[in-house]
Structure 1
């Protein structure tokens, strides 16, 4: 059972393994099962506020495929997810894990058989996933990406475009920068629409300009129902405001922008895109055929039918909160989980104290 701390988001469970030879292990694991992806990170803490990834896994499983039509997780989708989760279980079993947090998001939240699937995961893989709330998901996105917020900014809108939902958090930074950026959230929302659900409703393979605009308008209508959307109204569009995006959509745009022959997280994470850059990138990708999207190394066959739905969600966010720049984050919920676990355990505080004693 998770220990309650100031930084710990509600609804997240913690799984601990026994210490080896009485010595507390230092590896931490974070798993995020989303509507489209299954992702795992295993990391060890390094300098204060930072950690080093020692193992990782990511696979597109499309767990939410067909969910918007049937209200249930489909058998083939569950089988794909279980296969990926089995790999994650093996990776975790191969290491001594100090703490692990394993979460499931929108697909399992929305599905009538979501809890039933979680029980099946527990029985077949030994992994004890917890379905988290939308609020928790938004806060974790902030925790995971907060270090990429411009320290000179007075305000920012952070968004995470998922497969089945899109989380948006408005950050008022005028009180000053803090590592606990979740304390700067002045409004948040979770839109029950993501790249999978939007593409299934409108089509993602062959998208006409009219269909693309219809996607944007659907998302904008949902944003307009968000009561807190105007909380940063006096900052939006100024030099002191920017967007910060984490998702396959924005990382794909950055990869295309950088003309990468192979996707490279190190080049993408932290990239700044100007308003004009984004306009050109969306127009470019929208002008490609499905086959051209498949052929691009930063899109590929797994995302070719989803990328324009993601671009439509991004465009709706840009229209709601115009910004001169967007910063791209190839990080998110898993990093937020890892950061919160390490803070809860005081690993950086202990390391700092040990260093002080050595220097004394």
Structure 2
């Protein structure tokens, strides 16, 4: 058994996979919105209410993990715990109450895990379309990670050319732009563009996109939610979303539709189906900023990420069975 726990700014996610000679099989998949980073932008602290919510979810995760007879576990925390001054005491409390030892990972490690989790898509001939590089982005609750990756289709390997992490996610952006008027929506887009322009100036990715050399992959609840809405799913289906190839015009059209629905107070499918529109809209603004700078024609939607990267890394490194503790995560991508 391989268990991966990802404690993010907005969500707490657990994935448990059994691995055998015939491949892997998902045993358990848990995802709860905990909003751990709620209020962090204003106070620099994890609030008592947010920590209590998160601890409830982590108790559920611990119970699901410990009922397995044999497992390898790696648990990570990201931006909220990187930023909050009381994160260390909170994680000590988590360990004491649940037995879970959660490691705070760096932005670079977070990017590497997301890339590793999406590796199947990087080497899929249909999804890659003979492109030599990949631009992968992951819109989180407290930060957004961007990876610029070179693909070697012959050796089926990938090299991380460069990456950046901006401290802007759906929760932090919502708390910074509190009124969320239409004017503020476009201010959010400009704000995010200013954060990522430096990365574009260094790597000149836009020119590669215009030469049709770049695969575009979106990893986030924002992108998967938009894809689900485009497909008009009555209930979210991961099987239909994960690996879906969309024209980016479809995504932009859905965002326009949401904006019209929100600010003209038209209560149709878009607003009714997604009651948490106040978190979706900041994610849409981040996507618009990314796509404005890097106008790819199509996008691969990935309902996977850090947990999948952890599982892949553990499986490939043949970690010792019955290891009920965390271990040092190996560097599984080639670095510059």
The structure showing larger relative contact order (alpha-carbon pairs under 8 Å, at least 6 residues apart) is 2
* Partner SS for 1:345: coil
Deviation at 1:305, TM superposition (A): 1.1
- Are 2:176 and 1:230 aligned? no
In the TM superposition, what is the alpha-carbon distance from 1:94 to its structure 2 partner? 0.7
Task: Please give the residue correspondences for 1:207-356 in structure 2 after superposition, counting only pairs within 5 Å.
Answer: 207-226=180-199, 229-289=202-262, 295-296=272-273, 299-300=274-275, 303-345=276-318
Classify 1:47/1:255 alpha carbon distance in 2 versus 1 (closer, same or farther; 3 Å). farther
C-alpha displacement of 1:211: 1.2
SS of equivalent to 2:118? helix
Report the equivalent of 1:39. Answer: 13
Q: Which of these residues, 10, 13, 26, is aligned with residue 53 of structure 1? A: 26
Contact 2:41 2:172 in 1 (8 A): yes
TM-fit CA distance, 1:172: 2.0
The number of equivalent residue pairs is 311
How big is each residue's C-alpha offset from its partner over 1:245-276, in whole Å with a ceiling of 9 and x where there is no partner?
11000000100010000001001111111121
Question: CA RMSD of the aligned region, Å?
Answer: 1.9
In 1: Cα distance, 2:302 partner to 2:63 partner: 28
Distance 2:252 2:294 in 1: 15
- Does the 8 Å contact 1:147/1:179 carry over to 2? no
- Deviation of 1:171 after TM superposition, in Å, equals 1.1
Select between 237-246 and 251-260 the one with higher mean Cα deviation.
237-246
**Correspondences of 1:153-192 after superposition (within 5 Å):** 153-173=131-151, 175-176=152-153, 178-181=155-158, 184-192=159-167
The answer (yes or no) to whether the contact 1:30–1:40 under 8 Å persists in 2 is yes
- The TM-score normalised by the length of structure 1 is 0.82
Q: How does 1:117-132 map to 2 (within 5 A)?
A: 117-132=90-105
- State the match for 2:324 in structure 1: none
Deviations 1:296-335 (A, max 9, x none): 1xx33xx321101001101111112110101100000000
Q: Distance in 1 between matches of 2:21 and 2:250?
A: 34
Measured after TM superposition, the shift of residue 227 of structure 1 is 6.6
Alpha-carbon distance, 1:207 to partner: 3.5
Q: Output one character per residue of 1:150-174: Cα deviation in whole Å (capped at 9) or x when no partner.
A: 342212200110000001001122x
The 5-angstrom pairing of residues 49-198 of structure 1 reads: 51-149=24-122, 150-151=127-128, 152-173=130-151, 175-176=152-153, 178-181=155-158, 184-198=159-173
Q: Name stretches of at least 5 consecutive residues in structure 2 with no aligned partner.
A: 321-336
Query: What secondary structure, in the 3-state scheme, does the structure 2 residue paired with 1:236 have?
Result: helix
Q: Is the 8 A contact 1:41 1:57 kept in 2?
A: yes
Q: 1:346 to 1:100 in 2, by over 3 A?
A: closer
Structure 1 window deviating more from structure 2 (268-277 vs 306-315): it is 268-277
SS at match of 2:205: coil
**1:109 Cα deviation (Å)?**
0.5
The Cα shift of 1:225 comes to 2.8
Give the distance between the partners of 2:136 and 2:114, measured in 1 at CA: 8
Please tell me whether the aligned partners of residues 111 and 163 of structure 2 are also in contact (alpha carbons under 8 angstroms).
yes
State how far apart, in whole Å, the 2-side matches of 1:188 and 1:271 are.
24
| Structure 1 runs (4+) greater than 4 angstroms displaced | 177-180, 290-294
The answer on whether the counterparts of 1:188 and 1:228 sit within 8 Å (CA) in structure 2 is no
Instruction: Sort the Cα spacing of 1:330 and 1:178 in 2 relative to 1 into closer, same or farther, 3 A.
Output: farther
Partner of 1:24: none
Choose 109-118 or 224-233, whichever is displaced more: 224-233
> Helix, strand or coil: the match of 2:38?
coil
Output the CA distance in 2 between the equivalents of 1:281 and 1:63: 28
| Deviation at residue 336 of structure 1 after TM alignment | 0.2
Q: Judging changes above 3 Å, is the alpha-carbon distance between structure 1 residues 286 and 67 closer, same or farther for their aligned structure 2 residues? A: same
